[in-house]
């Protein structure tokens, strides 16, 4: 991990969690009081139904909250959607955009992800922009090309003057228990860093580049030690405070 970039460990609760699940945040707050993870930025992206309550609960603890998606428009006739400003109003600091489950389940394109990231920036949120190749693409030797293309097209020009985060999440590693080798993660993150530097200059060297996909307490230390891995986006292992804290501590 590059030590001039403060790592971010962000939890993605996906469509999991009822109000009782907020007890995990209480547990995490207690664990964080030990000071074992003071170097790290921490965020949890719960379902939208829990966002405001979690934001209130997490106040003053160092745990930021985030949305899992936002609409690209500021407001309007979009039944069931949530705007970036609404997330910010509920206490969010971050919003995930372009998660592979949104790309697959809702047909989200790079252009739409870019528009969502712009909307997030406009609302004062930090977008966590996700990219990642499928298993077939990796097997065909296309991972670098696909992910590089997604990165170029999913980050809006507005990001040049704003905070944003990139998460590399190989689709085949999400929720499967599989992970790329350290050499594969290194190669991908080095490529992404070079691409960000080429587009954004000095700022490109400071953008947090997260790894996501079956990040667990057992592999976190090795993966988070890789140069150009500046934290993680964590799905399943973020649901339980003990597991999430172990990953935070590894960073």
Conformational region of residue 13, where left means phi above 0, alpha means psi within -120 to 50, and beta covers everything else: alpha
Residues 65 and 30: beta-carbon distance below 8 Å: no
User: Choosing from 99, 108, 133, 137, which is the catalytic residue?
Assistant: 99
Q: By the criterion CB under 6 A, which residues form the site for ligand PEP? A: 12, 169, 174-175, 212-215, 233-237
- Please provide residue 93's backbone torsions phi and psi, each rounded to the nearest 5 degrees: -110, -30
| Alpha carbon distance 218, 221 (integer Å) | 7
Which tokens in the block code for residue 164? Answer: 């944003």
Q: Between 48 and 158, whose beta carbon lies closer to ligand PEP?
A: 48
Find the shortest distance in angstroms from Cβ 185 to ligand PEP: 13
Catalytic status, residue 99: yes
Whether 71 is a known active-site residue: answer no
What is the closest distance, in whole angstroms, from the C-beta atom of residue 100 to ligand PEP in the complex?
7
Residue at shortest CB range from ligand PEP = 235
> In 3D, which of 169, 178, 188, 163 has the Cα closest to residue 66?
163
Given the complex with ligand PEP, which of 197 and 240 has the nearer CB atom? 240
Give min distance, CB of 175 to ligand PEP, in A.
Answer: 4
Q: Which is nearer to ligand PEP, 85 or 94 (CB)?
A: 94
Q: How far is CA 177 from CA 118, 170, 232, 251, in A?
A: 33, 12, 15, 20
Task: Pick between residue 156 and residue 212 the one whose CB is nearest to ligand PEP.
Answer: 212
What distance, in Å, lies between the first and last C-alpha atoms of the chain?
8
Listed in sequence order, the residues at least 6 apart from 47 whose beta carbon sits closer than 8 Å to its beta carbon are 13, 14, 15, 16, 17, 68
CB closer to ligand PEP out of 85 and 234: 234
Catalytic option among 71, 108, 169, 189: 169
The DSSP line for 204-250 is GGTS-EEEESS--HHHHHHHHTSTT--EEEESGGGSSHHHHHHHHHH
CB of 116 to ligand PEP, least distance (A): 16
Least Cβ distance, residue 39 to ligand PEP (angstroms) = 21
Active site residues per annotation: 99, 169
């Amino acid at each position: 991990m590059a030590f001039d970039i403060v790592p971010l460990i962000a939890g993605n609760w996906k469509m999991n969690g009822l109000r009782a699940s907020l007890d995990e945040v209480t547990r995490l707050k207690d664990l964080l009081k030990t000071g074992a993870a003071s170097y790290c930025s921490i965020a949890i992206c719960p379902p939208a139904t829990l966002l405001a309550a979690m934001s209130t609960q997490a106040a003053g603890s160092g745990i930021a909250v985030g949305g899992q998606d936002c609409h690209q428009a500021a407001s309007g006739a979009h039944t069931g959607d949530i705007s970036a400003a609404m997330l910010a109003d509920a206490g969010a600091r971050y919003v995930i955009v372009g998660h592979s489950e949104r790309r697959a389940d809702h047909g989200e394109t790079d252009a739409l992800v870019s528009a969502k990231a712009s909307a997030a920036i406009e609302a004062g949120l930090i977008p966590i922009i996700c990219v990642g190749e499928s298993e077939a693409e990796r097997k065909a030797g296309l991972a670098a090309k696909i992910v590089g293309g997604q990165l170029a097209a999913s980050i809006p020009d507005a990001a040049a003057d704003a905070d944003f985060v990139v998460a590399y999440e190989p689709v085949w590693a999400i929720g499967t228990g599989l992970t790329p080798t350290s050499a594969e993660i290194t190669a991908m993150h080095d490529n992404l860093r070079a691409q960000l530097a080429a587009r954004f200059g000095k700022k490109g060297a400071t953008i947090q580049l997260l790894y996501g996909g079956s990040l667990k307490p057992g592999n976190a230390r090795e993966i988070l030690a890789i140069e150009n891995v500046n934290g993680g986006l964590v799905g399943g292992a973020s649901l339980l405070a003990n597991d999430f804290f172990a990953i935070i501590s590894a960073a």
